[in-house]
Chains A and B, each alone.
Chain A
């Protein structure tokens, strides 16, 4: 039962353009969402997060949008840079004592110079 879904396994974007990565979830109890970035042979690194009380969170070139009614979130990267090429994982959790993260299967982003 995949509670967090990333339906696009890969995405290619021209350098300087906007990258949009999407994520859907099925568990309405999730109330905190995160994006992690992973380079080959390294562990995932935290990128940005959003609480369910917000619909947008911005950090530099990275913005996460949350649509609770649609159970959908997205990560926007603008402008995209070659160093952004990595696998991006969406993750979700809920705030009543269990801090484990439920991850999606990831989207491989390739930035074309």
Chain B
């Protein structure tokens, strides 16, 4: 079956512009996560959606970052007024409700802010 997909695969933007990243989770996966990986770093948790519950936004680094999820499907991560330190690979993952620990990752979106 189809895995987690993300678009675009690469995005180059100018400092100060807004960007929107998209994630399509695996069908039936009610949990969805966003992480980012900056160069030489581990994966850093950003936000977590579970069904209709309020999302866990505790990892968002600033109020320039926001994310939405439509039901139990597509999610978008929006970064407003991008800064050079936002350059990273943004990874989306999804999981089954009974196996939250085993997350399935998409290939990521590489964001470069110039």
Give the interface of A toward B (CB within 8 A). Answer: 2, 4, 6, 32, 34, 36, 41-46, 49, 89, 91, 93, 98-106
Contact = CB atoms under 8 A, between A and B. Distances in A.
Given A43-B93, A44-B43, A105-B40, A100 B56 contact: yes
Interface of B: 4, 31, 33, 35, 40-45, 48, 50, 56, 58-59, 91, 93, 95, 100-108
A57 to B, nearest CB: 13
8 contacts: A42-B107, A43-B105, A45-B105, A49-B102, A99-B50, A100-B48, A101-B43, A103-B43
Contacts of B40: 105
Contacts of B45: 100-102
A34 B102 contact: yes
User: Quick one: which of A45, A91, A93, A101 has the most chain B CB within 10 A?
Assistant: A101
A104 B103 contact: no
A100 B102 contact: no
Contacts of B93: 43
B36 to A, nearest CB: 11
A98 to B, nearest CB: 7
